[in-house]
Structures are given as structure tokens and as C-alpha cells.
């Protein structure tokens, strides 16, 4: 049986025992928050903060959390991964979802989602307080890890035709040179692409399909 330590955890547990029935509410984020009851066993807020911060580092994970993440959360919570493995995996998944809602829709939306799914107002407020304090750091970290895409500045084209050559058999065949000037995050660059008539035809056909998709 999981022990709950001190008045801090007892207050959280008393809220949980009053009911965990999920109630649908229009306009609110709907999440599945299994596993968050493990936070009730934390001896201090610092433990909860450590787990939430670790889950932020794992926020891009899809599906089941990796074994290393589960082992670290088990260590932070002083729990046995053998005994609490499924609950720990559910905790990580739910906390990642909570963090995602914080960054997408704001801390209040995430707090309401946790309270809606757990029925525990004190637990949802605790997580919201932690997220509110950490959100500037999370936002900065997410921005610095975003891959910057190149932006097309301009393009030019030139049509070449080989008139004479001692080694090429493709005399008189036109070749299109497309030059793209792009502006990435660091510096401007120029890329030149050589296209045969067949390749140009294929490119134009593909762009035509794309244009139809954009209508």
C-alpha cells in the first residue's frame, strides 16, 4: 500500500478521495490523466517539480516512455519501478500531456484539464503553480530547439544548350538552370538546380497538383 507523508500529502489525498469522476465541460481541454495520483506520495513540492521538469525534457516522446525516463522518475519519487512500472509510465505520459497543454493553451487550461480528470483541486493547482513558474524557461528552451527553415527570397532561371563538345553526346539538348536564393537563420545562400526537359515537365506537373490542393 502506498504511504502518504505529512499534512501536505494528506490534504491532496483528501481531495482525491472525494471523487475522481470525469465531467465533460465544453471548451475545455480533455486529457487522460492516469498516474498523477503518484504525486500524492511525494514528501515535498520539490519532488513534484523535479518530476515535472524531467517530463519536460521528455516532452517530444511518442507512445510509451523510454526505460531510462521511467527509471529516473522512479528514482525521483523513491518508488520501485518493478512494483509501480505501469503507474510511472502513465504518470510520465500524463505529465507530458499537461506540459503540452500549458505551452499550447496556457497554464489555466491545463489546470482545469487536470482538475476535470482527477477531481483533485489541490493537485491541479500545485501542478499549475509549478508550470506557471517554469513556463518562461520552457518557452525559451522550446524556441532555442526549434529548427529554422530556409525562406525563399527570390529565384532566377537560365536556359543553356550545349553547342559543341568533344565528350558529351547531348548536343543541342536544352538544359534549364534554376537558381534559388534563400535566407536561412544564419546567412543567405544560393542554390542552383539543373533540370532536363523531362524533369522540368515532372516538376511543373507536381506544382500543378500542389496548386490544386491549395485552392
Q: Which residue has the cell 510520465?
A: 92
Residue in this structure with the C-alpha cell 504511504, named with its chain if needed: 3
The bridge status of strand 174-183 relative to strand 189-195 is antiparallel
How far is 61 from 44, CA to CA, in rounded Å?
27
> pLDDT at position 142, please?
81
Give per-residue pLDDT as tens, 126-175.
999 999 999 999 988 887 766 566 778 888 999 887 666 665 566 677 88
Crossing angle (nearest 10°) for helices 121-144 and 45-57:
40
Q: pLDDT tens across 87-115, in order?
A: 999 999 999 999 999 999 999 999 999 99
Question: Which parts of the chain fold into alpha helices (H)?
Answer: 6-17, 45-57, 67-77, 81-105, 107-118, 121-144, 197-214
Q: Looking at residue 154, what is its pLDDT?
A: 87
For 192, the grid coordinates are: 542552383
The answer to whether residues 64 and 58 touch, using CB atoms and an 8 Å cutoff, is no
Share of the chain above pLDDT 70, in %: 73
pLDDT in tens, 57-80: 887 766 678 889 999 999 999 989
Q: Which residue has the higher pLDDT, 35 or 90?
A: 90
Cβ distance 97 to 71 under 8 Å? no
Q: What percent of the chain has pLDDT over 90?
A: 29
pLDDT at 171: 66
Amino acid at each position: 500500500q502506498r504511504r502518504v507523508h505529512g499534512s501536505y500529502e494528506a490534504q491532496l489525498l483528501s481531495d482525491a478521495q472525494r471523487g475522481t469522476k470525469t465531467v465533460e465541460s465544453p471548451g475545455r481541454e480533455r486529457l487522460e490523466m492516469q498516474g498523477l495520483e503518484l504525486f500524492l506520495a511525494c514528501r515535498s513540492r520539490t519532488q513534484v517539480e523535479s518530476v515535472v521538469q524531467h517530463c519536460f525534457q521528455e516532452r517530444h516522446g511518442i507512445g510509451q516512455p523510454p526505460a531510462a525516463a521511467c527509471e529516473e522518475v522512479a528514482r525521483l519519487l523513491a518508488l520501485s519501478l518493478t512494483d509501480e512500472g505501469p503507474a510511472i509510465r502513465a504518470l510520465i505520459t500524463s505529465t507530458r500531456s499537461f506540459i503540452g497543454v500549458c505551452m499550447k493553451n496556457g497554464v489555466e487550461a491545463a489546470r482545469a484539464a487536470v482538475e476535470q480528470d482527477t477531481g483533485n483541486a489541490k493537485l491541479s493547482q500545485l501542478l499549475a503553480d509549478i508550470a506557471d513558474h517554469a513556463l518562461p524557461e520552457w518557452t525559451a528552451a522550446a524556441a532555442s530547439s526549434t529548427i529554422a527553415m530556409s525562406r525563399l527570397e527570390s529565384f532566377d532561371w537560365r536556359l543553356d544548350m550545349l553547342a559543341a563538345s568533344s565528350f558529351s553526346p547531348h548536343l543541342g539538348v536544352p538544359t534549364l538552370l534554376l537558381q534559388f536564393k534563400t535566407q536561412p537563420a544564419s546567412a543567405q545562400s544560393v542554390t542552383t538546380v539543373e533540370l532536363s526537359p523531362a524533369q522540368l515537365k515532372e516538376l511543373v506537373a507536381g506544382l500543378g497538383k500542389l496548386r490544386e490542393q491549395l485552392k
